[in-house]
């Protein structure tokens, strides 16, 4: 390639990169604002701004990628997406938003063929029906782009041009140009009815995506130390991310990256040898590992001789001495049993693969990094910079001055294992915000060392800290840290109290009551966590979680049982409804039915969004939106009409079908959130 062209390309790339990072910064700011409640117009606006910025960012990032890979080869024109032409070809997993993006990509592409990667910005229109159902807001951005090319135009003119080129689609009833140049899109009712019918008849299916191998590193408590509320958040968020990706049929590997290989094991083993010399034949009574840890730590800090022995123990352990490995295993077992209790309560499936798993790989990784000149000597240690020229940020400590390895070393070996052996496509780490810099550095170093390819990233799903109701660090009344198991037991107790308070113990059988108690207790803890924007700190309050009004698990579980009971009262079996659906299909006549129907069709778009940004509160908001739309529908539309004596005189089959689809969608969302539903409570 000619030098001049190369320089130009580079200039553009760096400009785009700067723009992208500026946008990313803005996005981060937006993301920190809590958008967790719905309905406020300003928030809607912000959210839609957010969408636009995200889209811009995506476009710019794509441009960077394309530019850096374009070399001298002329870029192939992007393949036009294929659009639906026939309602009957549409299945239950149809994603309206994706189709609209495709439609407008075609429209904008033919209205402005000279614009490279024009922004395709489609958002929901919000609550006012006069703005249509969705809107395309690309005109403003395109007018700007044209202005930069000295083309005189205005957004309204652009909007009209786009409209003229928009292909007809069975998805769209009509499009109107409005205001400054918005394109308001009205959906075609028959298509919505058709998709609802397919969901009803063939079930909920995931929207199609390219299958990826995703490694999700979550929970990851440390052996012999406490599993604390931070680990609880990681467990809940991580499990839900896995469930969502599994629903999309990705190949998900759930990894518990246990802290099972640090210096602390030296002192624990040394202490074990003194206290329980026959640990190899008898299980040592260290059920209270915390206390055991504290004792050994005390000796370690106070007794020089013990300290030396402890260090020697680490060396023996890490070199694989069978006696030391046996002692270490005993200690790990005790911790694991404790962790397992929590996982059993919360129904968490996870594979234990702690730091120790990487011992040999750490040796190999250190060798690789050393031989390829990535390490620098620094006062006896070996460090690695993400960027050796700027020395920005902080370096990783790969080898300590005593020759030992660190958390950094293990994460470098870990990412290498996940790329090379697991052949992962996506690497997700659910860990508190305090570790973010660590993961940023791991990513930079892994890229620098060629372990991660340029398009691969370390996705650190960060979350804020858990606060008590006094907004201070979550502690017991006496000021101790809270044991997770105690927290869960309290949840169970409080949930039962709540059910009894509502007189449910008189209506439900003991088994039903216990099921409801567990669903509510575990559900409320999970939902409270997941329904808040995870980057924010969140206040742990059983009172709030167990409130049956507002956006809580209790409210949603009740709403769901109520919906389920509608069909029960009507005494219409699912088979009878199905037969009816085959005959008549769906008809959305009442305004409230139509509104609910449109909300129900948004699952694919919400799922795809969350799979991308891993913010689960959007899914919770959607769930709450379904239940609000349902309430409005149920207030306004009879499903079953009865006479004065309570005898059923008329059954509205389509409405019962709508109830069924609503219930199934809510169940699916709750399932992804890891929340069990009950048929009665």
Contact residues: ligand ARG, CB under 6 A: 217, 220-222, 257, 259, 411, 414, 429, 431
State the DSSP code for 572: -
**Taking the complex as a whole, how short is the minimal distance between the CB of residue 257 and ligand ARG, in angstroms?**
4
Least CB distance to ligand ARG at residue 337 (A): 18
If the CB atoms of residues 170 and 221 are measured against ligand ARG, the closer one turns out to be 221
Distance of closest approach, residue 395 Cβ to ligand ARG, in angstroms: 17
User: In 3-state terms, what secondary structure has residue 280?
Assistant: coil
Q: Looking at residue 481, what DSSP letter applies?
A: B
Instruction: Please say which residue, 220 or 618, places its beta carbon nearer to ligand ARG.
Output: 220
Whose Cβ is closer to ligand ARG: residue 433's or residue 576's?
Answer: 433
CA 116 vs CA 59, 75, 76, 412: distances in Å: 10, 11, 12, 38
CB of 414: closest distance to ligand ARG in angstroms? Answer: 6
Strand partners, 252: 214
- Shortest reach from residue 237's CB to ligand ARG, in Å: 13
Tokens 């390895």 sit on residue: 405
Specify the residue, 319 or 340, whose C-beta has the smaller distance to ligand ARG.
Answer: 340
Query: Using CA atoms, how far apart are residues 431 and 219, in angstroms rounded to an integer?
Result: 8
Residue 622, number of CB atoms within 10 A of its CB: 22
Residue 675 CA to residue 474 CA, distance in Å, equals 24
Residues 544 and 531: their CA atoms lie apart, in Å, by: 13
Which of 198, 256 has the CB closer to ligand ARG? 256
Cβ nearer to ligand ARG, comparing 337 with 507: 337
Closest Cα to residue 656, out of 610, 587, 608?
587
b/e 353-391 (16+ beta carbons within 10 angstroms → b): bbbbbbbebbeebbebbeeeebbeeeeebbbbbbeeeee
Residue nearest to ligand ARG (CB): 220
3-state secondary structure string, 195-222?
A: HHHHHHHHCCCCCCCCCCEEEEECCCCE
Q: In 556-570, which positions are buried (b, 16+ CB within 10 angstroms) versus exposed (e)?
A: bbbbbbebbebbeeb
Nearest residue (CB) to ligand ARG, 411 versus 605: 411
- As measured in angstroms, the least distance from the Cβ of 255 to ligand ARG is 8
- Residue with Cβ nearer ligand ARG (132 or 464): 464
> Shortest distance, CB of residue 507 to ligand ARG, whole angstroms?
43
Nearest distance, CB of residue 363 and ligand ARG, angstroms? 18
Identify which of residues 200 and 293 has a Cβ nearer to ligand ARG in the complex.
293
Least distance between ligand ARG and beta carbon 345 (Å): 20
Residues 6+ apart with CB under 8 A from 299: 267, 270, 271, 306
Nearer to ligand ARG, 431 or 563 (CB): 431
Nearer to ligand ARG among residue 193 and residue 217 (C-beta): 217
C-beta of residue 171 within 8 angstroms of C-beta of residue 187: yes
CA distance 57 to 612: 14
Which is nearer to ligand ARG, 93 or 414 (by Cβ)? 414
Least distance (Å) between residue 447 CB and ligand ARG: 17
Q: Considering Cα of 96, then 99, then 101, then 103, what sign does the dihedral take?
A: negative
Torsion (CA) 623, 625, 630, 631 in degrees, nearest 10 = 110
Residue closer to ligand ARG, measured from CB, 341 or 668 = 341
Question: Token digits for 125?
Answer: 């229109």
Bridge-based pairing of strands 426-430 and 213-217 is parallel
As given in the structure block, the two tokens for residue 673 are 């959130």
Q: Give me the least distance between CB of 259 and ligand ARG, in Å please.
A: 4
Smallest gap from Cβ 169 to ligand ARG, in A, equals 46
Dihedral sign from CA coordinates of 276, 281, 287, 289? positive
Q: How far is the CB of 478 from ligand ARG (least distance, A)?
A: 24
| Smaller CB separation from ligand ARG, 218 or 624 | 218
Reference 599, options 100, 63, 195; nearest CA is 195
With residues binned 3-state (H G I as helix, E B as strand, rest as coil), the percentages for the chain, rounded to 5, are 55, 10, 35
Q: Is the dihedral of CA 265, 268, 271, 277 positive or negative?
A: negative
Minimum separation from the CB atom of position 300 to ligand ARG (A): 20
């Amino acid at each position: 390639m000619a030098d001049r062209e190369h320089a130009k390309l580079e200039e553009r790339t760096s400009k785009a990169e700067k723009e992208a990072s500026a946008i990313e910064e803005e996005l981060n700011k937006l993301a920190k604002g809590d958008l967790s409640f719905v309905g406020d117009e300003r928030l809607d606006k912000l959210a839609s701004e957010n969408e636009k910025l995200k889209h811009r960012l995506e476009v710019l990032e794509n441009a960077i990628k394309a530019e850096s890979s374009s070399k001298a080869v002329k870029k192939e024109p992007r393949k036009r997406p294929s659009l639906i032409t026939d309602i009957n070809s549409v299945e239950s997993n149809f994603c309206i938003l994706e189709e609209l993006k495709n439609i407008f990509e075609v429209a904008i592409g033919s209205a402005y063929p000279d614009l490279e990667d024009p922004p395709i910005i489609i958002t929901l229109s919000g609550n006012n029906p006069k703005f249509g159902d969705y809107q395309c807001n690309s005109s403003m951005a395109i007018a700007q782009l044209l202005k930069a090319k000295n083309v005189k135009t205005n957004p309204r003119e652009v909007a009209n041009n786009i409209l003229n080129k928009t292909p007809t689609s069975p998805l769209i009833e009509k499009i109107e140009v409005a205001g400054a140049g918005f394109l308001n899109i009205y959906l075609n009712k028959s298509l919505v009815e058709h998709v609802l019918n397919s969901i009803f008849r063939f079930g909920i299916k995931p929207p199609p995506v390219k299958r990826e191998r995703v490694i999700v590193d979550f929970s990851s408590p440390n052996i012999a130390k406490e599993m604390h509320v931070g680990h609880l958040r990681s467990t809940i968020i991580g499990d839900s991310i896995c469930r969502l990706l599994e629903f999309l049929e990705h190949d998900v590997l759930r990894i518990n990256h246990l802290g099972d290989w640090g210096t602390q094991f030296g002192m624990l083993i040394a202490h074990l040898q003194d206290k329980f010399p026959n640990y190899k034949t008898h299980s040592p009574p260290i059920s209270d590992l915390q206390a055991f840890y504290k004792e050994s730590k005390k000796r370690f800090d106070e007794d020089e001789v013990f300290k030396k022995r402890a260090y020697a123990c680490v060396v023996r352990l890490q070199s694989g001495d069978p006696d030391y490995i046996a002692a270490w295993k005993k200690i790990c077992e005790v911790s694991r049993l404790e962790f397992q209790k929590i996982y059993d309560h919360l129904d968490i499936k996870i594979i234990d693969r702690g730091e120790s798993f990487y011992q040999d790989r750490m040796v190999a990784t250190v060798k690789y990094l050393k031989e390829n000149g990535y390490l620098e000597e620094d006062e006896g240690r070996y460090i690695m910079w993400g960027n050796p020229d700027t020395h920005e940020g902080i370096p990783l400590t790969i080898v300590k001055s005593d020759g030992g390895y660190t958390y950094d070393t293990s994460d470098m070996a870990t990412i290498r294992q996940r790329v090379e052996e697991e052949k992962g496509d996506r690497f997700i780490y659910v860990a508190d915000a305090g570790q973010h810099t660590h993961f940023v550095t791991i990513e930079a170093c892994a890229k620098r060392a060629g372990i991660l390819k340029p398009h691969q990233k370390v996705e650190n799903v960060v979350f804020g800290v858990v606060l008590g109701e006094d907004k201070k660090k979550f502690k017991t009344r006496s000021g101790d840290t809270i044991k997770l198991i105690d927290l869960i037991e309290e949840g169970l107790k409080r949930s039962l109290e709540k059910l009894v308070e509502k007189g449910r113990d008189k209506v439900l059988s003991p088994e039903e009551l216990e099921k409801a108690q567990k669903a509510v207790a575990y559900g409320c803890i999970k939902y409270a966590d997941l329904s808040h924007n995870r980057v924010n700190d969140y206040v742990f309050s059983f009172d709030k979680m167990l409130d049956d009004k507002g956006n809580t698990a209790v409210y949603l579980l009740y709403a769901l049982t109520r919906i389920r009971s509608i069909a029960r009262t009507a005494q219409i079996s699912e088979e009878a409804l199905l037969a009816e659906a085959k005959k008549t299909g769906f008809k959305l006549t009442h305004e409230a039915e139509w509104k609910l129907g449109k909300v129900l069709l948004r699952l694919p778009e919400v799922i795809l969004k969350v799979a991308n940004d891993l913010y689960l509160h959007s899914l919770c908001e959607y769930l709450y939106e379904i239940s609000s739309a349902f309430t409005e529908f149920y207030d306004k539309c009879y499903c079953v009409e009865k006479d004065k004596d309570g005898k059923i005189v008329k059954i509205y089959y389509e409405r019962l079908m709508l109830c069924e689809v609503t219930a199934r969608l809510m169940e699916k969302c709750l399932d992804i959130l890891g929340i069990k539903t009950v048929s009665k409570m």
